[in-house]
Amino acid sequence: MTRRIFLSTYFCLFALVGFSGCVQPQERYTSVLSFTQAEEKLLSPDILAQAKGNHLALLARSAESYRAMKIRDYTCTFVKQETLSGQLRPEQQVAVKFMPSPFSIAMIWTKNAPLGDRLIFVQGQYKDAKGQSRMLVRPKGGLAQLLAGKSVLKLPDGPDAMRNTLRPCTKFGFENSIASLIEVYKLAEKNGDLVGQAFLGTTEVAGQKCIVLQRVLANRDGANYPAKTTEICLDIKTLLPMRIVGYDWNNNFSCNYEFRDVKFNTGLSAKDFTPKANGIAPPKKSKK
């Protein structure tokens, strides 16, 4: 009975992004640079005009660019940092393999792993009794594996996971990021809450030159927007969002999501999203 209570407590703490200490707030992530004449030639006049005042149109171009690239898979280093319950968590770095269809993701933490340091999620696999797909997670460290097992199945957007992250792994990716940005822009515009959209200039994200958009929303009761101020770094060539930074209603850092070292269409297949391929023990078979 004592072991059952202890394990229940452990599972309540276990999540995609678990608590691993807190760090002091830092300065704004986005360091805006100036255009050079050569860089300006990479942008058409209408893109520059949209960057300065019609972000929805520019994000529609971003979505079209993603579709035109015919992306079958990609790998990257995903960098994330979030403020949760008023505490700035350490920056995490994750080696990611991703396929959009079926939605498949494999994540291996390389820096500041939470309580789980590896996971795979494939839409349609590892369904629970309600038919919901679950992620397979490897607990970090020997003690955790001794208590919880060498792998555990968890709902990616279940209460355990969402207690320690702002976004579940099922929201990962360029396509989801663009769709989420567009959704908030449209909602804020409809409600009259889009109080500012600006073009800040350019910055670099892991060596990729990006244009920087800034969105500012009104703090209306019940609106439940993800951030007051959002800085969106779109790759100059592809218009894909390479970094998204959010600040809360007190202008404090809220989150940073960043794609580094992206390699498209590497030839990934279903076999790259198995437990064996990612160093995770297969899930235990349920007793009938």
At 146 the pLDDT is 44
Output the pLDDT for position 172.
97
pLDDT of residue 284: 83
Q: Tell me the three state secondary structure of residue 43.
A: coil
Q: What is the pLDDT of residue 161?
A: 79
Q: What is the reported pTM?
A: 0.86
Q: According to the model, what pLDDT value does residue 54 have?
A: 96
Q: What is the mean pLDDT of each run of 10 residues along the chain (288 residues)?
A: 39 40 57 76 88 96 98 98 91 98 98 91 96 94 55 90 86 98 97 96 93 95 91 96 96 96 98 97 75
Q: What is the largest CA-CA distance in the chain?
A: 70
**pLDDT for the residue 18:** 44
Q: What residue ranges in the chain does DSSP mark as E strands?
A: 74-84, 87-88, 92-99, 104-111, 116-122, 135-139, 152-154, 194-205, 208-217, 229-235, 241-247, 253-264
What pLDDT was estimated at residue 12?
A: 38
